[in-house]
Amino acid sequence: MPSTIKVYDKTFEPYLSKVVIAERIKWMAEKLNKEYEGKRPLFIPILNGSFIFAADLFKELSIEAEVCFIKLASYKGTKSSGQVITAIGLDTELFGRHVVIVEDIVDTGKTLSEFLPQLYHQQPASLKIAALLHKPEATTYPITVDYLGFSVPNKFLLGYGLDYDGLGRNIPEIYKLVEA
Ligand code: IMP
Ligand code: MG
């Protein structure tokens, strides 16, 4: 792992190595393999951030499992509630299915707390969240991460799918912003 990297104007330092990430994903997959055996779960990774984590996690699953990547788009609703979030690419019926949402990182929890009710509406048999990273100090919306990789401080992270203004997703490790 190189010592520090620069993206645009910001400097990042190593935080979680490839080996540490891989080990933790294996551990998460073992839990999922046990808990979803015979249930044919449907994994729903949320793009773009989760694509690398989702792929690595999925490869470690030894049970029968399906995957359907989605992208969330938010637009201004006509209701007073303001933003409405819709899922692009969700082509599978969730009724009666065991669903696992796959997220790179849960920060404030806003995205998921606004989106999950739409999924519950379809009456899945169960609905859980698997997230590689969670910033508990930043989470102000009522979100429970059922399968968690790492609990992390409220700092900006980069790499392994996480971007800074579009860049850095391809870095194979996770870096942390060096604050000036
Ligand atoms: P939330 O709705 O605040 O939980 O936001 C979650 C989304 O914000 C994640 O799926 C990421 O795309 C993005 N995000 C949150 N924290 C970071 C970070 O530290 N680095 C890069 N992206 C982040
Ligand atoms: Mg994301």
- Is there an atom of ligand 1 within 6 Å of 109 CB? yes
**Domain extent listing, the chain:** 5-177
pTM of the model: 0.95
- Is there an atom of ligand 1 within 6 Å of 32 CB? no
Task: Please report, in tens digits, the pLDDT of each residue of the chain (180 residues total).
Answer: 669 999 999 999 999 999 999 999 999 999 999 999 999 999 999 999 999 999 999 999 999 999 999 999 877 655 555 677 889 999 999 999 999 999 999 999 999 999 999 999 999 999 999 999 999 999 999 999 999 999 999 999 999 999 999 999 999 999 999 998
User: Was domain 5-177 assigned CATH 3.40.50.2020?
Assistant: yes
Among 104, 105, 135, 173, residue to substitute to test ligand 1 (most atoms within 8 Å of Cβ): 105
- Is there an atom of ligand 1 within 6 Å of 132 CB? no
- Integer Cα distance of 124 and 95 in angstroms: 5
Give the strand pairing for 157-158 and 174-177.
antiparallel
Ligand found nearest the CA of 157: 1
- Integer Cα distance of 11 and 86 in angstroms: 34
| pLDDT at site 39 | 98
HSE on the CB side for 81, CA within 13 Å? 8
